[in-house]
Amino acid sequence: MALSHLEHFLIQTTDMDATRDWWVDVLGLRVGPAPDFKFPVCWLYIGDTDVLHLTTGGADVSDNRKAYLGQQSTATEGSGVVDHIAFRASGLRDMIANLQSHGVEFTQRMVNDQGLFQLFLLDPNGVKVELNFNNDEAVDIAPELMASDLNSDKGSETR
């Protein structure tokens, strides 16, 4: 059960194009591949590493986004737009046992095209934490939801 590195931040926005362009034009990130979550996302990279994920935010996000990520904040400006902090991790079964022993509630998700089994949980301040494990650690563990099971959402984009 070990965290290996900070993986990404996710920012929710009402204007993905303007937000994407600012990070690309001002700070030099580049748009790169992103999985099809069936809701609008854009992944921005430094080199070959995705470090900033963008998605739509506010009060009217899609049902797919709510089903997969949940929504702790409807903020569209200020620090409340940071939806979650993600870490790459190993030792899935040990982590699940550890979370259960501490009484921490979590959800289980899977993104097949990225090879990720994910745990989502909240810290004591309500900050969402995403833990990403290789799918091969999840043999015989069924996720509660898979990204591929979501219905197509009009307006999905990855640019």
> What domains can you pick out in the chain, each with its CATH number?
2-149 (3.10.180.10)
**What are the structure tokens assigned to 98, written together?**
């550890």
Over its length of 159 residues, how does the chain's per-residue pLDDT go in tens digits? 788 988 898 888 888 898 899 888 877 889 999 999 899 999 999 899 999 999 888 888 888 988 888 888 888 788 788 888 888 899 999 999 999 999 999 999 998 777 899 999 888 667 788 999 999 999 999 889 888 888 876 554 444
> In whole angstroms, what is the distance from residue 37 CA to residue 40 CA?
8
Query: Cα–Cα distance between 91 and 61 in angstroms, integer?
Result: 33
**pTM of the predicted structure, to 2 decimals:** 0.68
Phi first, then psi: what are they for 151, rounded to 5°? Answer: -75, 150
**Spatial distance between the Cα atoms of 99 and 32, rounded to a whole number of angstroms:** 33
